Amino acid sequence: MELTKEKLCRMFDHTFLKAYATKADFEKLCNEAREYGFGMVAINSYPVRLCKKLLEGSDVHVGAAIAFPLGQMSIEAKCMEAKLAIEDGADEIDYVLNIGKVKEHDYDYIAEEMKAMVKIAREYNIIVKVILENCYLEKDEIAEVSRIAREVRPDFIKTSTGFGPAGATIEDVKLMKAMVGDEVKVKAAGGIRDYATCKAMIEAGAERIGTSSSIRILEEYLKENDG
């Protein structure tokens, strides 16, 4: 795939997920996303309604992070948060799976949770992404969750929240992509702050990039490609 400026911009989930985020931060985030034509703004669920209004008239999606960043909520609580965010205007949801259940190898629970979240997404015709938080997982655990995703068919599986001790790695993106094939897409997030890293993630199979450094990455891309 030839990576044009427009294609790169549409890959960005332009992110601001800090606990101290204010209205001014969301206004800045949304203005940047609108100006550059980024694919989505990634925010927590509370400011969805505000960001939807700020992005009115644009084709930038509003993405709500669900059970973020720990994933330690019941399936019912995650479903309720997702539904409320969608009712507020979310076009996409990124939910953190129950990491403890993965570590217990309770994959029936992980499948049940994933099916519940995908069911909501399909009912509302929105995009759903499953955040694995790979820094806490072994390779066989990443592979098994990816296998489940291939069967359940969320739109994306995602490497990280960006709040764990480590973020996306090329090795993990390749593993996830190998497991899901063309049935599910891969999003890389966490620690992607320059174009070289971003490009490597895309070459490894990522089709979305979650980052708060979207503008810097774009500027480096333009410099490398003569504007």
Question: Which token pair is 58?
Answer: 């644009």
> In this predicted model, what pLDDT tens digit does every residue of 191-202 receive, in sequence order?
999 999 999 999
| Average of per-residue pLDDT across 71-86 | 98
Q: What's the topology of domain 5-222?
A: TIM Barrel (3.20.20)
> In this predicted model, what pLDDT tens digit does every residue of 126-151 receive, in sequence order?
999 999 999 999 999 999 999 999 99
The pLDDT of residue 2 is 84
Domain ranges of the chain: 5-222
The pLDDT of residue 1 is 63
> Which residues are the active-site residues?
94, 158, 187
Please state, for a pLDDT cut of 90, what percent of the chain lies above it: 98
Question: What is the residue type of 135?
Answer: C
